[in-house]
A = this chain, B = another copy of it.
């Protein structure tokens, strides 16, 4: 929902209340939530040890003695916060009854075994899929503003890096200086920035190296900031001097594919169909095999979350999703091009959070 929520979304009747409805709809009495990002989303708690039990009749939050004060300060109104031991599985188990779901993609086999043992016959433990992750995929207005702020910060740092130039510096130097500047700005990198010049740019997950960036090279530059919990993600491909006709052609092809995909990303469209839209021009030009990754992914508290835009995705794009749109073409041993925007899916139209030009920019 992109509507403004007037009340605190991390209060027990906010996201916790909406989750309780989903829990009931799944035929469960409660959901055991142990994933810390999901807990942060539900309650605003940022510590490293916590668990929640959420159902129509309860909104329980547990942490250990180390985090009692932080929980007091952070956790939204109305969550029950009983005192807990460091290992609070037995305590939580004692409160479980009926059909209790767990996050099967997150809970380890051993953790489930311990929980089963502690619960005994009081409750049935059932894999519950990704209920909180599904909620997280649709952002509210406040979340969108936080992601926009992170994207704006990353844009500023791109501009600063461009001003300092690329040619003659090493990939690692450029990447590290940007990381440091993100941190000086009170944020964290969403991931280690990728700065990959020439043939290195043909590796979709290249590590910046000690190679000096030369003239006439394309430079794939992928960077994001995490500010106040929320991430951004953006890629631009720059040229040092004129990279030659073929590189320009491939660049324009990716730009066309990206524009096509931006148009296809709409509520109700399948993640696979948006992905397919980007592939049409790339395949027509004979480069289908050179676009070896998915079109994009959701971004929020994590830099990779739902929905997935890819050939194998079964997700449907919804209003309030914030997704990357990032086609690329990689010519092994030669160069790569990727252009990535971060987009808020709107009811009437999308909002593009990436403010940098997509003209092929020559950076000295």
Contact = CB atoms under 8 A, between A and B. Distances in A.
Interface of A: 47, 65-67, 69-70, 102, 104-113, 127, 176, 179-180, 183-184, 203-205, 207, 292-293
20 contacts: A47-B205, A66-B205, A67-B205, A102-B109, A104-B109, A104-B110, A104-B113, A105-B108, A105-B109, A105-B110, A105-B111, A107-B108, A107-B109, A108-B109, A109-B109, A109-B127, A110-B127, A113-B127, A179-B183, A180-B180
A291 to B, nearest CB: 12
Given A66-B203, A105-B108, 4 more contacts: A66-B293, A107-B108, A179-B183, A180-B180
Nearest to A107: B109
A323 to B, nearest CB: 20
B104 A66 contact: no
Identical subunits present: 2
Nearest to A294: B86
Nearest to A69: B203
A262 B135 CA distance: 50
Nearest to A292: B65
A108 B104 CA distance: 7
Shortest 5 CB-CB contacts between residues of A and residues of B: A104-B109, A66-B205, A104-B110, A105-B110, A109-B112
